[in-house]
Amino acid sequence: MSDNPTIAFLVASEGIEEAELTGPWQAVKEAGWEPRLLAPETGKVQAYNHLDKADTFEVDQAVSDAQASSYDALVLPGGVANGDQLRMHSDAVGFVREFMDSGKPVAAICHAIWSLVEADCVKGKRLTSWPSLQTDVRNAGGEWVDEEVVVDGNLVTSRKPDDIPAFNRELTRLVAG
């Protein structure tokens, strides 16, 4: 881990659950670390408060130009549309797989777990997500549990926006070592 960790936040172009992006982002900044927003394309991404449009955010780097070795941790914010879109981008899925294989911290909340399923990274892992994804997790070989936050090795998972304080606590604990 570097002295000043750089944390990748990977999202799709729209449908990001705003609280699940901004809550962890703020926790990373408060820890004195550098958050960077990655997406399939540069430009702006559209966040939502559930089904209502919220703020837009400027992308720092296209995921196709990113390497896991340049980052100390990966955060995958949720949002139904975000998780569904992101798992359809091969560069994003490859980046998630590379991160999981590296052993560096990976934190995923809500529907972001779909990216882990698509990257074939949940087999043998204990994790949580939004409840509607439990069958997907089990079919991919993971053990789904209904808990506020679950840590399994380098992986931190949570279910929903209400879990963000616990999610942030475990994310920052893992990154700090």
Please list, in sequence order, all residues whose beta carbon lies within 8 angstroms of the beta carbon of residue 170, skipping any fewer than 6 positions away.
107, 149, 151, 156
pLDDT at 3: 77
CATH number belonging to domain 6-176: 3.40.50.880
- Is 110 known to be catalytic? yes
Does pLDDT of 148 surpass 90? yes
Q: Which residues pair with 75 in a beta bridge?
A: 9, 107
pLDDT value for 1 = 56
Question: How many CB atoms neighbour CB 164 within 10 A?
Answer: 22
Q: Of these residues, 37, 75, 110, 174, which one is catalytic?
A: 110
| The pLDDT of residue 2 | 64
Could you read off the pLDDT of 1-53 as tens digits, one per residue? Answer: 567 999 999 999 999 999 999 999 999 999 999 999 999 999 999 999 999 99
Q: Where are the domains of the chain?
A: 6-176
Residues near 113 by beta carbon (within 8 Å), at least 6 away in sequence = 76, 83, 122, 127, 129, 130, 133, 136, 137, 157
CA distance 16 to 45: 8
Contact yes or no for 177/1 (Cβ under 8 A): yes
Q: Which residues of 90-99 are buried (b: 16+ CB within 10 A; e: fewer)?
A: eebbebbbbb
Looking at residues 72-88, what average pLDDT do you find?
97
